[in-house]
Chains A and B, each alone.
Chain A
Amino acid sequence: MTFFKVNNLKVYYPIRGGIFRRVVNHVKAVDNINFELKRGETYALVGESGCGKTTTGRTVVGLTKATSGEVIFNNLDLTKCNRKQIRETRREIQMVFQDPYSSLNPKKTVYDIVAEPLRNFENLSKSEEREQVEYFMWKVGMSRDSLFKYPHQFSGGQRQRVGIARALTLKPKIIIADEPVSALDASVQAQVLNFMQDIQEEFGLTYLFISHDLGIVRHMCNRIGIMYKGKFVEEGTREDIYENPQHIYTRRLIASIPELDTDQHQNSELLRKNIEEEYQKENDKYFNEDGSVMDLKPVSDTHFAALR
């Protein structure tokens, strides 16, 4: 049985114009993508700003409506099932948002923020609720006296932990983590990443990990999908992508990771130059005449790339 699968997903945003605000065109934010999540794995969606990562995540949790395609979970298509079914399945897929500074309601206490999903989905007594909230706040390493403070009284890393505690309260199966550490400093980043690994093991979570940081993705993820302008250009295991990248766009992304080892700098500068030249010159090997991405072809059992 498939655990979770996205089939031919499209999400188009209308562009309106003219005096009647008619739809004149569409932004194809997500344009026909397919991927599967295996239970307990961490799957990364990687790509540059605007390539459709967040839109994919939001559609999976139901915050954005799919234009077409299927999101299959528990053998149900989440894009088509009825309200009650949606309610039941939605609680199993939770999202942690990109920006810990704006994603928490500033007027609510941390307690109310974390308790909110419980109030929406479960009929708990006050004391049961309190017990649950305290438990998850303790799990994310926040002290009891932080419960009745407001988000602005916390650091970015602490806020991101509150966001994670909130996502955990309903004991979901899948967590969509949208750039969960991009806004954080290195040492706080380390803290949140370690912690995400710990709770993954403890709660048997599956992560859809959205990021543009290939260093972090290598550290965290088993499988990776590389997105470019709403489409996948490559998909594979960590080894496939980092040791044997096929698409020029993937190679370009990997070559862009700043190299800590100073002995490698001349190499990496040269490599970047060569890739850039190939990107300009051999464009037709990787893209159709109209600049669109080709269809994915298998490279191996686990590895797919959009090549001619």
Chain B
Amino acid sequence: MSNDDILLQVEDLTTSFRIDDQYYPANDHINLDVYENEIVAIVGESGCGKSAFGHSIMGMHSQEQTKISGKIHFKGADLLSYSNTQLNKVRGKEISMIFQDPLTALNPLMIVGKQIEEGMKYHTKLSKNKRKQKAIEILSEVKIPQPERVYSQYPHELSGGMRQRIVIAIAIACEPSLIIADEPTTALDVTIQARIIDLLKELKRRMKTSIILITHDLGVVSEMADRIAVMYTGEFVEIGETKNFLKNPLHPYSKSLLHSLPSKNNQGEKLHVIKGVVPSLNHLQRQGCRFKPRMSGTDDSIHEETPTLREVEKGHWVRCTCYKHFQIDNHNQVVEGEKDDVFQGQ
């Protein structure tokens, strides 16, 4: 990957929400590059700021409730400097979004074929007949059986899995170069989830689209993503290639998350539990390491005031001054590591 292949470059993005006349950042000085033809997963627990991030890129936040600063470079322009009219030309054409709940994303009163054509109507000069033809093609592309028939059906006549395929069909109708998929399979059964995962991977291979995959499910990430970015209280705490990350997670939060999942390997063991809860936006302590209140037995002398995201091996970034000190054993218990192993920075 070289700099030429960067499709989206998020620079110092801060998105703050208003709560009782004060603004609190839900994304705090975020930096992330998304390359062409790449799936990057944004992972983290409920409320950590994943959707806020996706919505910032799509320009979907209400202006009265939200303050945004930083830059979102996309194909040479800064999306944050765009007017609504300019954004409308990008949204649905160059960048599109897939939402968690297919029912709320679809118009219940319009046949699905017409919903797929909406974007084409706005963004292309295709004739009515051509649009219909294309919509049917897209329906078969997302593996809908009998596409001609389904074209004229209403959302309520379709199963949950079919509806999510329609949402995907709408998203890919104008062949965008970036898709933001916010929990695209969370509302679905496992068998349907598996098929949607395989479908999205195939579409990416064929159309060379990049996908920002927002999810809290590490299994889904492992199956789909090339890279993974772990978010905690509005900051990335670890970024790395999926394979490498899963074999060798570095940040204590990442390690803890992986050990809290039931798996073949930890059968019969108690699962790892992170103490405490994720603080809400207006109660978050923003000084120092934000994960510190969730850790036990950390040694103040080896902590930096505020850890920054550092590249510790090629393409692997971590926001923690002493990650080597934190290990979890096969019984999902925290063990004390060697102090001299502590990472000292550059």
Binding site for B on A (CB under 8 A): 48-49, 155-157, 185-191, 193-194, 197, 212-216, 218-220, 252-253, 255-262, 265, 268-269, 272-273, 276
Contacts and interface: CB of A to CB of B under 8 A. Distances in A.
Contact of A187 (B45, B194, B243, B247): B45
A156 B278 CA distance: 12
Contact of A265 (B218, B223, B247, B266): B223
Interface stretch (B17-25, B111-119, B256-264, B337-345): B256-264
Nearest to B264: A218
Given A219-B267, A258-B222, A262-B222, A190 B273 contact: yes
A268 B198 CA distance: 10
A49 B258 CA distance: 27
A269 B264 CA distance: 19
Given A215-B219, A262-B243, A256 B263 contact: no
Given A186-B261, A258-B194, 14 more contacts: A49-B189, A185-B46, A187-B274, A190-B273, A212-B190, A255-B194, A256-B193, A257-B219, A258-B217, A259-B219, A260-B218, A262-B242, A269-B198, A272-B198
Interface in B228-250: 242-243, 246-247
A212 B219 contact: no
Which 4 residue pairs spanning A and B have beta carbons closest together?
A: A258-B219, A219-B262, A190-B271, A190-B260
B264 A49 contact: no
A255 B219 CA distance: 13
B263 A260 contact: yes
B222 A259 contact: yes
B262 A218 contact: yes
11 contacts: A48-B189, A48-B191, A155-B277, A185-B46, A187-B273, A190-B271, A218-B264, A256-B194, A258-B219, A258-B223, A276-B195
A187 B219 CA distance: 15
A216 B190 contact: no
A257 B185 CA distance: 13
B191 A252 contact: yes
A117 B271 CA distance: 31
A186 B216 contact: yes
Contact of A216 (B189, B220, B258, B262): B262
Contacts of B271: 189-190, 193-194, 219
A218 B273 contact: no
Chain A CB within 10 Å, residue with most, of B45, B219, B223, B263: B223
Contacts of A215: 219, 261-263
Contacts of B192: 48
A216 B242 CA distance: 23
A212 B189 contact: yes
Contact of B257 (A157, A187, A214, A216): A187
B272 interface: yes
Given A155-B277, A197-B270, A185 B45 contact: yes
